[in-house]
Structure 1
Amino acid sequence: MNDLTDAAIDLPPGARLLGREWLGFDETGEIALIRFQALPSFANRHGTIQGGFLAAMLDSATGIRALAALSADFTAVTRNLETRFLKPVTPGPITARARIVERTDREIVVEAALVDAQGVTVAEATAQLRVLQKK
């Protein structure tokens, strides 16, 4: 399993923009918890967070969950991200809960949900990620 504390120190630019913060695993050890900061600049004309930013958060959460399951000599890239927007969400903290639902040597399927500060699930996604050996 990767040491994600080291990865968190050197966040990629997209993760930095989203304010991604690795919180660890829940009590089961299976569900990764990742917090994002939805900035006011992410809002659409209605004052709610634009769906593309929510999709980026879900993509980031599913990817980091997959990485947490792999040894350091492997990585994962998203092949497909099926996203469902459930409720509008305003700027502020959003927490992702991501879990692996299927895994082979070449692919990992991860489900994630975004939950707002009031505990309401605002979006969900299922990602298919290809496992690759690092070069």
Structure 2
Amino acid sequence: MNEAASHIPPGAQLLGREWLGFDESGRSLIRFQAQPAFTNRHGTIQGGFLAAMLDSATGICALAALSSGLTVVTSSLDTRFLKPAAVGPITARARIVEQTDREIVVQADLVDASGITVADATARLRVLAKR
């Protein structure tokens, strides 16, 4: 899956999303760039930005498993914030845990530059035909 800059949605561009491919266990790897503008009053990345990264990563993971005529929309995103996240690169590791013709369930975690898992999520995505 190759994302040309012109095909990355504006929200994903804001998050600095970059598709890295798959790791040895088949997980999708997606890197984000957490910006200083994403910080809260504590100087760490605000949870909404982390949730947006998880939403983006789970969607991209699901899309990588589908034919080009199909797409997905998130119907639920159960997110846990585990540790404070700092400004800088954050890598999502996502994998499909369940798939039918109508729904895909993806689990993902976000890992900071030090290798610490800062958040994770389980997403349920509805499979739709592209318009």
TM-score, with normalisation over the residues of structure 1? 0.94
1:70 is matched with 66
1:10 shift after superposition: 1.4
In structure 2, list runs of 5 or more residues that go unmatched.
Answer: none
Whole-angstrom CA distance in 2 between matches of 1:6 and 1:36:
14
1:107 shift after superposition: 0.2
Whole-angstrom CA distance in 1 between matches of 2:11 and 2:97:
25
Aligned residue identity for 1:17: L
Q: Does 1:55 align with 2:51?
A: yes
Q: Secondary structure at the match of 1:126?
A: strand
In structure 1, list runs of 5 or more residues that go unmatched.
Answer: none
1:15 is matched with 12
Whole-angstrom CA distance in 1 between matches of 2:106 and 2:4:
19
1:7 shift after superposition: 5.6
Whole-angstrom CA distance in 2 between matches of 1:7 and 1:110:
24
Contact map agreement 2:75 2:126 (CA 8 A) in 1: yes
Contact map agreement 1:108 1:128 (CA 8 A) in 2: yes
2:115 corresponds, among 100, 115, 119, to 119
Deviations 1:54-108 (A, max 9, x none): 0000000000000000000000000000000000011000000000000000000
Q: Does 1:81 align with 2:72?
A: no
Whole-angstrom CA distance in 2 between matches of 1:55 and 1:8:
22
1:45 corresponds, among 19, 37, 41, to 41
| Distance verdict in 2 for CA 1:129–1:52, change over 3 Å | same
Whole-angstrom CA distance in 2 between matches of 1:23 and 1:116:
15
Contact map agreement 1:66 1:76 (CA 8 A) in 2: yes
| Distance verdict in 2 for CA 1:55–1:130, change over 3 Å | same
Aligned residue identity for 1:107: E
Q: Which runs of 4+ in 1 moved over 4 A?
A: 6-9
Contact map agreement 2:3 2:19 (CA 8 A) in 1: no
Report the number of matched residues.
Answer: 131
Aligned residue identity for 1:111: Q
Contact map agreement 2:85 2:118 (CA 8 A) in 1: yes
> What percent of counterpart residues are identical?
74
What's the C-alpha RMSD, in Å, of the aligned pairs? 1.0
